[in-house]
Structure 1
């Protein structure tokens, strides 16, 4: 026979309180939710049997303090992760966006590093259809950039790895390029954006008062060096080649898909590729290479 759960069991109380104070519709709705009732079958009018009232606050009000503090803490955390987005929206509007986001994507991880993972997706899902297209695009781009910064900062990097040897790579004959695949660094990210939001984010970091940028197609490479997250705007052609290589295409096929056939053997292109690969190697965009069997 199953024994009823005791309110004096600490694990039961902890689980019940978590369900109550994190309920999206507030503490009182949380108390009456099926999940909380499964832990402790208690109603708000009998709350004092679990949470004693104080001289100034009722039991319900005391729980609401914790509920408000819980969401305030999460809003503060996302404000740290998305400072430029917070600046663009204003603190009150940003807090409203985050609160609504947390209803759709509640925290499920032990670490706050994962809290904002779905925030850019949420902005995309909830974008209004009846206002100027550039404003929501700007906000989504900004959220994508700042989330990428966070992921690159927290994730693995190339600080202890040798990276790509350009001289060794150059020694591979061109007839083998169709089976030459590069291994991207784990901290390399490619962003295709509709606004130069990296300039806006940098201005916010410098505590300037940036104006909203006009729409401009932007191709951005985000990477990490010596534990510092960096970004570099590149031209579309370089971006497309990087994208093809990161996607696993062999070098030969990536070059064919990026450049017109007639330009592949020109000295100007060869010099451009040499400059690009030298820069990529310097900043460790790639961890190495492999030669696949055809």
Structure 2
């Protein structure tokens, strides 16, 4: 949308393609009538009959699918919200658990401990940005060091990079044998936490990628298209072309049809904008 568009006004570039196509369609109908004299018999009856039958079909389909769709969407939306809440709660628990395990390294391996803490703090930030499909390196500036920021900025999946780095940081514990197996047990517990964080990130990514089911209101958009497409036949029958008696000019029909199509396109645009807000049109994040 251009910068000159005022707030609250529909974008003109969204309307013009649809209006241009409808004007071309209307002009073809008028030209066909002027060149051949062909005119549909009783279009004023056929058009409302077509609309009435289509509306009746949509009404039955809406009535039949309405409750099912409503229950399905509410159930899936609830399940999605509940699943995200459970995964985020589980992620917080795992991070706190791994931070508690890492505290055992604070006395002997301060560098490894501080690096693990930085990675654990940065992991929720990286996962949030990945799920939102956004990039903001400034969020890491207060957590990670400059060398770590460079690696985060060059990867497409920063949360996965942090998990890999955590695995590398705890690897020495596996080969450190004190005769009691404490280091090996600590490595095993921390590696389990890393696996759990990886599973949580995959589950949240799946929840974000799978769209909600498309609504039956998409059929209303198709209904408007069909109604506008058959409107020129009715207008051609009820109006009188401008010109001298016995002569017909394309100017009157073209102007009338263009104005009618513009008005219909305005209604069509309003409906599409409403459905787009609901996320129920193709190309707005929901699959048809």
Q: TM-score w.r.t. structure 2 length?
A: 0.22
- Whichever structure has more strand as a proportion of its residues is 1
Q: TM-score w.r.t. structure 1 length?
A: 0.22
